[in-house]
Amino acid sequence: MNDGGAPRILVIDDEPQIHRFLGPALEAAGYAPRRAMTMAEGLRLAAEQAPALVLLDLGLPDGDGKIAIPRLRGFTDAPVIVLSARDAEAEKVAALDAGADDYIEKPFALGELLARMRAALRRAGAAARQPQASILRSGPLEVDFGRRLARVEGGEPLKLTPREWDLLAALVRGGEGRVVTQRQLLMAVWGPAHVEDAQYLRVYVGHLRQKLGPAAGLIRTEPGVGYRFGGE
């Protein structure tokens, strides 16, 4: 099928009404939707058609959608946004830890979904264009990975401890607007012995926000799940 250059969006969901709703909406937004009703069909289409982004339900008839995430990651870098009626924090954390880029609960607002999709596609495009970027700027914050320093509004380098720097770097490298789970941050900064120390992480995030000052709002909390750096 000729997409006319429109980015392909693979929707893996066993609810016909979701496809009836999302199909026309995605086309109106300039995308080329593809439909899969099972995990097996979704994985096949993802391999064959190289979608720009995948929308994935967790409650599929042939298995838990979380199983599909690492399988997708085995052959595509396309962002994966989970759409699910499961609202438990543990489900969100498990999906994000498995490699999902974002998680949106059903029922969802179309405007929010499209905004999250745009953000995920921007991140994917930026990563493809600048895989070796050593300096990142977001709002008033500049992060220089090569020199391990950060500035706010062009001022003097912030006086960050090694742990605070590692935490900021892990958040920024997670991608603007993307959720980084508590477990992912604890593993990246403190190692496997501290993956359950959520309170420890909250204390360090608080210290980091204080030092960021006007840029503190770039670190956004996802209660019970983790944190986002910047984004919409």
Choose between 1 and 101: higher pLDDT: 101
User: Would you say residue 131 has pLDDT above 50?
Assistant: no
Q: 8-129 with 135-229: one CATH topology?
A: no
Choose between 147 and 210: higher pLDDT: 210
> What CATH number does the domain located at 135-229 have?
1.10.10.10
For residue 113, the model assigns a pLDDT of 94
Q: Give the CA count within 13 Å in the CB-facing half-sphere of 23.
A: 10
CB-based contact 171:205 (threshold 8 Å)? no
Listed by start position, the domains of the chain span 8-129, 135-229
Q: What does the alpha-carbon distance between residue 186 and residue 194 come to, in Å, rounded to a whole number?
A: 6
CATH architecture label of 8-129: 3-Layer(aba) Sandwich (3.40)
Nearest to 163 by CA among 134, 194, 196, 132: 194
pLDDT digits (tens, 9 = 90+) for 28-85: 999 999 999 999 999 999 999 899 999 999 999 999 999 999 889 878 889 999 998 8
For residue 133, the model assigns a pLDDT of 55
Average pLDDT, the chain: 88
For residue 2, the model assigns a pLDDT of 55
Least confident of 3-7, 154-158, 209-213: 3-7
pLDDT band at 232 (very low <50, low <70, confident <90, very high): low
